[in-house]
Homo-oligomer: A and B are copies of this chain.
């Protein structure tokens, strides 16, 4: 699941707390297999969360705490966002130290 978001300039301090809490909560969900995240100085960020299957991703979407935070995100933190649900067909990893 790809979440790309433009944060508003003056996201309040609660944002960092909520963002960290959501990351912790996601990791506790059944079917969670990983997450990566990056946000630049312009406030644009991308988070990719990985799930075992569609059902796990849907459960996370509908999780009550996640839903509540989403409402707060729309109300306060984000200017816009997109969500892509995608099935990974191939992947590849490279590491300098391998």
Contacts and interface: CB of A to CB of B under 8 A. Distances in A.
Nearest to A80: B95
Interface string A4-19: 1000000000000000
Contacts of A36: 4, 44, 46, 82
17 contacts: A4-B36, A4-B38, A36-B44, A36-B46, A38-B44, A46-B46, A46-B48, A48-B48, A54-B89, A78-B96, A79-B95, A80-B93, A80-B96, A84-B90, A85-B88, A87-B87, A87-B89
A69 interface: no
Nearest to A40: B38
Contacts of A2: 2, 48
